[in-house]
Amino acid sequence: MSSVRNEEHVMKQTVLVQHSSGLRQLLARVCRSNFLRDDSGVTAIEYGLIAALIAVVIIGAVQIVGQDLNGVFTTIGNEL
């Protein structure tokens, strides 16, 4: 029974070594490819940040104008 467990342990270690070797090869291929030198995603991130900033400014402006309009309508309602 002990030898069966040892064989299973050795098999598991072999599988782990094979997987880590495959991961190393994949990482090496990615490093050699243009993936790390490709900066097209940077532009998309910049546009996303600009859109988020514009959205924040619009939300702030709507809240300020909304409060002012609320005051105007309250005054008109009280005068009527």
In terms of residues, how long is the chain? 80
Mean pLDDT of 45-55: 92
For the chain, the distance separating the N- and C-terminal CA atoms, rounded to the nearest angstrom, is 95
> Percent of the chain, pLDDT > 90?
14
Distance of alpha carbon 66 from alpha carbon 38, whole angstroms? 44
Region 33-60 average pLDDT: 82
Alpha-carbon distance 38 to 27, whole Å?
16
pTM above 0.75, yes or no: no
Mean pLDDT calculated for residue range 58-69: 86
